[in-house]
Chain A
């Protein structure tokens, strides 16, 4: 009898917890999709929509580990300069075209020949794409590259139907309007400024998926309106609610709130090229003077976590350096040593670009006041702000402190360290490839480590280099290290199986509605 009861319980729970088929999810987005041509996608919203239509050779999972998708497995040859991918068979694009090695080659050829907007992710890295046989493709690199698989996992590496490239490839707008991939959902309609509708791919290669019949991504610009629509039951999913409404949303019984840490760090850049911030003691003092715990708790309401490295703790390569604990006395002492006891500094910040960006700047103004540093906070509109802090004109290099966020698209640390801290990417460097080092930071040891990280294929050594580089950067303090952002999602209680990634991606491939 007992056995029978157990069996019954198991069966019952399977019946209750088994995913159910059917239904539509209405997913709210804050701005319209920019483009659905993978090689041109610049933003996370287009990526979220696109990842339901397209797939790449590889992808990363929610823990940012590389997983096979359209490639079943791969070998790394010739000291890391060649990748041989064995492709999945019996996969078809939404238009019926076969996915095979020729399709892979066609995609890379198209990316390079049409010079798509994100071609820089592979230019100078991929030397050649060779078709070995129908289901084997070899990608030859100029030199070993530790980030290569992560680069393939980005939207630029998604595979588009070769027939679509043939038909629409001459016009990026047509490609964008006819997105044809191998993913769990097929594109149905895009009403500009209004919505994008996807429907289930009945021939999806992952058996039994997807559960949903339809996804509608709907544009609602105002975040309060997005919250209200989900509360009213007019929509099923939204993310980044205003923190002020956070507590009320968590209490609403018809909703679920999920918080996921991301690879995005928020920091204050310090211009190390000019006095007084050219003195490392001053920069360290500023770090000691900021109470990061308090910022996260009081201001960010738990939607952020103090950071102790230029990398987020979710980013591949992260090492916990311990950072700068809150210690106002030490800050005062360091300032005294440096001879700056009544310091005046200017902090420029965007307003509304990141959650509570301006509010954070003002809070820091208060904290620095306590160690005798007077800060003038100046908010700026994003476009003007970017042109100021990423300017190539020497007369613009007079800024002192600026608040900024960074999220590596590859989800690994090289795309943090290289653009932001390599001296070849300084604003005044003539041959920069990713010019974002606007604190004019340079440390030959850090440069050397970053160069090694770029080409190292042995994971153990790689992590060792990452660790050393992070320690040095934290020591040199070209930033005030603030916090790592979390992403908060609000959904109807019935919605199950949504995957939220630390790269601000959201997948409904395995989602279902529990009615």
Chain B
């Protein structure tokens, strides 16, 4: 298992290099000059030129890329826009995003898995109908709209919760709920389908025929097997949330990574975008590794793999 982990971690290096090349090329392919945008309205030709020179934007692309990679290794990159060391910009925002992602994935897993199992077991009952309608609405509802509705209801009208910003646990509830509801819909559908499939397997019919109580059958024989695809979906969703949920962050004024990267794209802050994307890619790979480890935990057969 250790060997497996080490191998996967080594695989991270080519992935990150690949991502850096792709994000670098794309950023430099779209038109726009960071010096011009960052210098602001009314900047003189000389001021714009001096920003260009300072950040090497006047150099050939290959040289700019090599400078960038060298900066990654020696950790002396700075955001072009704010001139602050790039990690002091990105890390606190990443922590905020991670906090939000973690709470939402917990909310959505609890809601999603519960609804999924219940509706699979009580197939075609009113609970099933309710939870499938719920997840249909959840999947189709634009997330920023849900966010604004929740703000109007709980913050503006009822005044139970703050309408945004970061602070105590109460600030986390609305954004996490917004993200969690949308994600739980996907998880619920996946769980339902997976549990239904396992319920129809021969070995389940056999243990039912042996007369085991239904509850025990579900927990001991069905869930374990049904959970593997569900864990995959949860893992993918978690990775996606860690990349920053831009819309939710914008609506709730949550100081996360996604919003920052988007703002950096608009101001052509190449360095912030490239490092941000590399960070997101790395997390994605790590979360996938985590998912694989969880597989091994659930299914002993995969432990040797």
Contacts and interface: CB of A to CB of B under 8 A. Distances in A.
Nearest to B158: A232
B51 A117 contact: yes
A415 B83 CA distance: 27
A193 B44 contact: no
B202 interface: no
A121 B44 CA distance: 8
Contact of A35 (B45, B83, B88): B83
Contacts, number: 153
Given A117-B51, A225-B151, A192 B251 contact: no
A434 B42 contact: yes
Contact of A31 (B151, B256, B263): B263
B54 to A, nearest CB: 9
Nearest to B40: A42
A419 B151 CA distance: 45
Interface in A419-436: 419, 432-435
Nearest to A220: B253
B250 A225 contact: yes
B196 interface: no
Contacts of B223: none
A225 B163 contact: yes
B135 to A, nearest CB: 26
B225 interface: no
Interface in B57-114: 78, 81-85, 88-89, 92-93, 96
A299 interface: no
B175 to A, nearest CB: 11
Contact of B255 (A117, A118, A123, A194): A194
Nearest to A229: B163
Interface string A448-480: 000000000000000000000000000000000
A409 B50 contact: no
A192 B159 contact: no
A228 B156 contact: yes
Contacts of B45: 432-435
B266 interface: yes
Nearest to A435: B45
Size range of the chain B interface in the assembly: 35 or more
A222 B253 contact: yes
Interface stretch (B28-36, B181-189, B203-211, B278-286): B28-36
Contacts of A388: 31
Given A115-B50, A193-B93, A220 B267 contact: no
B162 A42 contact: no
A233 B159 CA distance: 9
Given A35-B82, A433-B46, A225 B252 contact: yes
Interface in B8-48: 30-33, 36-47
B238 interface: no
B233 interface: no
B128 interface: no
Given A222-B251, A432-B45, A193 B259 contact: yes
Interface centre among A40, A118, A222 (most CB of B within 10 A): A222
Interface residues of A, number: 55
A232 B85 CA distance: 36
A34 B82 contact: yes
B180 interface: no
B92 A118 contact: no
Interface string B139-159: 000001000100110011001
Contacts of A225: 148, 151, 163-164, 250-253
A176 interface: yes
Nearest to B156: A232
A234 B156 CA distance: 9
Contacts of B151: 225, 228, 232
A120 B81 CA distance: 18
Contacts of A193: 92-93, 96, 255-256, 259-260
A115 B39 CA distance: 13
A191 B148 contact: no
A205 interface: no
Contacts of A195: 165-166
Contact of B268 (A120, A231, A383): A383
A228 B78 contact: no
Contacts of A433: 44-46
A408 B255 contact: no
A110 interface: no
Given A234-B164, A383-B267, A42 B43 contact: yes
Contacts of A382: 37, 266
A228 B152 contact: yes
B42 A221 contact: no
Contacts of A222: 144, 250-251, 253
4 smallest beta-carbon distances between A and B, as pairs: A383-B32, A120-B44, A42-B40, A220-B253
Interface of A: 28, 31-32, 34-35, 40, 42-43, 115, 117-121, 123, 172-173, 176-177, 191-195, 218-222, 224-225, 228-229, 231-234, 381-384, 386-388, 390, 406-409, 415, 419, 432-435
Given A383-B266, A419-B42, A435-B45, 10 more contacts: A28-B253, A35-B83, A42-B43, A219-B253, A225-B148, A225-B164, A225-B251, A387-B31, A407-B41, A409-B41
Interface of B: 30-33, 36-47, 50-51, 78, 81-85, 88-89, 92-93, 96, 144, 148, 151-152, 155-156, 159, 162-166, 249-253, 255-256, 259-260, 263, 266-268
19 contacts: A35-B83, A119-B50, A123-B44, A176-B82, A176-B83, A191-B92, A192-B84, A192-B255, A218-B165, A218-B253, A220-B164, A220-B253, A224-B251, A225-B251, A229-B155, A232-B156, A383-B37, A387-B32, A406-B41
